[in-house]
Each structure stands twice: as C-alpha cells, then as structure tokens.
Amino acid sequence: MASYYKLPTEERSGIGTGSVREIRRNGKIPANYYYHGEPNQNLAIDKKDFLHAVKSGQRVFECDINGETVFTMIKDAQYHPVTEEVIHVDLMRVRRDEKMTVSIPIVLEGESIGASEGGLITQATSTIEIECLPTDVPENLMADISTLELNSAMTAADLVLPADVSLVSPEDTTIVTCNPPKAEVEPEPELVEGEEGVEGVEGEDGEQAEGEAADGDTDSKKDSSDAADQGETSKES
C-alpha cells in the first residue's frame, strides 16, 4: 500500500474578490473541494504545503476536512499568466473503495541492446493512464528497456503493472523506440546562377569581335589595293 503526502487545508468562509486577495496576501491559495453527491466547500491551502505536495510526485493526497481524513486529487490548478504562481486549486475527493483513473509518469530503466549498437532511444510517451484504488496508485511505472533492440519499439502492453492496477491507455500506445541514427547527407556544391550563360555570351561576343576584326582587315587591304591602283594610273597619265 502506498503512503500519501498529507496536505493540510483549512476552511474559509469569505467569498468574493476581496476575500480571495486577502488569502493570497497571507501566503495561501484559495481552493474548492468537491465530490459527487456532496456540497462544494471553500478551502485555503498554504502555498508552501501545496508546492511540497506537488514536488512529492504523488497524485493522491490525504486531507483533513471537517474532521475527516479523506483522499483527494488535484483536479485543476490555475496559474497567474505573468508570475506563473498558483492562484487557485480544485481538489476532488476519491474514495478508498472506488477505483479511479489516473495518469502516471513512466520512467525508463536499463541500457538498451539497440543503444549499445549505436541506436537512438526516443521516449514517445511520458505518462500512461491506469485504473486502480486510491491506495494502490503507484508513484510511477518503470519501463525496462534493456531488451529493446535496434529498429524496435516498446508499447503500453509491454509494461509490467503492479497488482490490482489495470491499463486504461490503448495497448498499442508507443512508449519508447530505438532507431539507427539518420545518415548525414553531404550537400552537393551549388552552381552560381548564370555562370554557364555568361561564358556562352562571352564566347559569342568573342566570335563576333573576331569576325568584325577580320572584316576590318579585309576592308583595309581592299582600300590599300585601290589606293595603289589609283597611284599607278596617275603615273601612266
């Protein structure tokens, strides 16, 4: 049987914004306690006690309400949008003889066979839903991955559950995988846009220039020949 963190609470009679602000100024958190078939009750919880309870890692807490020791769960918590401090809490009663559904953290243990071969371990799910009595709620579930091979996965069906605890999450829920690392692909060298085109243009321009130069030489030779012919004609005259 699990032991539970005792979360002290006190009744509060005042309601409204002014009363709630006064409670917070005194280092306490306004809270509501409820259970089906019973009237809701306004409570106050010391902020330090609440934070210690949350850090304990437990999901079910013992509270003394109206002189009776009851089991409760934190059903909801509201946080300040700027300071992120808890500003309100809803506590829901759970009975020792009534099974409940609760989310439990999953802790990986062991060294995977696949990891020793270079595989990468990836935890796909960090919590799992189970059903049990409040007195049987485990703090966490251990997932032994020592037999996890390369290119394989562990599902919720592979988890070893304590006695009197049943699985609520689908059995095919992936818990952890072991896959080979992705091969690094070397990027291909990028061609500067227009390099080939520039060379082609330069080639065409070069050919055109050479053609123009050749035409110029031909014209020059023709002009020289004409001039020589004219000179000879003048002498003959």
101-179, CATH topology level: RNA Polymerase Alpha Subunit; Chain A, domain 2 (2.170.120)
Element spanning 181, H or E: none
Q: How many alpha carbons lie under 13 Å from residue 193 in its C-beta half-sphere?
A: 0
Taking 3-state DSSP, the helix, strand and coil percentages for the chain, each rounded to the nearest 5, stand at 30, 35, 35
pLDDT of residue 15: 74
Domain spans, the chain = 5-94, 101-179
Cβ neighbors of 78 (< 8 A, separation 6 or more) are 86, 87, 88, 89
Q: How far apart are CA 38 and CA 117, in angstroms?
A: 58
CA angle (140, 49, 102) in 5-degree steps: 30
How much is the mean pLDDT over the chain? 82
* Residue-wise pLDDT tens digits, 3-61: 678 999 999 877 778 889 899 999 999 999 998 888 889 999 999 999 999 888 777 89
CB 110 within 8 A of CB 118: no
Domain 5-94 has CATH 2.40.240.10: yes
Q: How far apart are the first and last CA of the chain?
A: 140
Q: How far apart are CA 29 and CA 21, in angstroms?
A: 10
Cβ neighbors of 9 (< 8 A, separation 6 or more) are 31, 33, 43, 44, 45, 63, 64, 65, 91
DSSP 112: -
Which of residues 232 and 122 earns the better pLDDT score?
122
* Residue-wise pLDDT tens digits, 174-206: 999 999 988 766 677 776 665 555 554 455 555
pLDDT of residue 115: 93
